Structures are given as C-alpha cells and as structure tokens.
Amino acid sequence: MAITKQRRQELVALYGEIISKSDGFVLTEFNRLPTGKLNDLRAKLRPIGGKFVITKNTLFTIALKNAGWPVPEDLLKGPVAVAYGIGNFPAIAKEALGFIKDNSEQAKVKGGLMVASILRANEVEMISSLPPLEDLRAQLAGLIVSPASTLLGVVDAATGQVVNVLHAYIEDHGGESAA
C-alpha cells in the first residue's frame, strides 16, 4: 500500500528523532509475528527505556544517512523492525535477544548499529552480555577511587609515622623541647 509524500516525510523525521536519541539498534527480521507477541516485547523493553518499531527500510535508510550513521543495506532488506533504547544499549540488546530466542521461528536478529558501527548478529549478542550501565559506572568509579584511596592511606601512614617519631623523641628527652 503506497503512502503519501507527507507521511514519508513524517516517518523520516520520526526515524531521525529516534536515531538522534539512541545509542544503538538491534535490527531484527520478523516473519508473521503476532501483534500480541510484538506487544509483549514492547512491554519488556519499556521499563529499561527501550522501544520496538517496525520500520520502512527505504525511509529508515534516508534517516540514517541524514544523521551520518552507517547504512547496513544488506541488513535492511525484507521485513525489518528495530529495538532501540536511550543510554542502555546492552540491556536493550539482551532483552531483545532473549525474546527472539523464545520466538526463533518467527523472528531473528539480523545485526545492529551502534554509534558509527555496523554490527553483525554475533556482535549484538556479545554486547548483550555486557553488565548494565549502572554496574559499569560503579566499576569505573571504583577504578578511579581506588588509586586515590591507596594514596590517601600511604599519606596517612607517613603522617602517622612522623607523629610517632616526634612523640618518641619528646619522650626520650624527658618531655623537653629541643629548642
């Protein structure tokens, strides 16, 4: 069914907005996936800030080009839908892959896009195994704080040693000042 020029422009604008906010996409192929199951996936993605949208390939390609993203033309053939999120691509990929594994007869991962890279299906799977963004931030903060706390411990120990030496000196000299 043909769509109007105005509707095409609206879809390109919508896709452009999605692309500008997202840090990655899981490109999927679906084959007669019932609406109920699509809604189940959407419901699973919603709490983690994700969405699942069936795209018009030619219009999605235009939006990708407009945004300066790479265009995986080989992955944008046939019925394509994208799972995407804002700021937590590994969690989105994990949820989408889990759903697709449960519905492998009706859907499969074709690949993905992340920032400026085209991803193959196995690379999307590797990304989905990364820890959640909050855990990565905590690990990074730990790496940054650890050297600082070690340095603080060394300085504190050195200061304590100086105080101990001064205290011993004062005791050895009968509490008299050396001056």
CA dihedral 63, 69, 70, 73 (to 10 degrees): -20
Task: Report whether pLDDT(144) > 80.
Answer: no
Question: Residue with structure tokens 């219009």?
Answer: 59
37-64: pLDDT as tens digits = 889 999 999 999 899 999 999 999 999 9
56-85: pLDDT as tens digits = 999 999 999 999 999 999 999 988 999 998
Question: Residue with structure tokens 């944008």?
Answer: 76
Task: Report whether pLDDT(17) > 60.
Answer: yes
Instruction: Report pTM.
Output: 0.68
> 65, 122, 124, 117: which is closest to 93 by C-alpha?
124
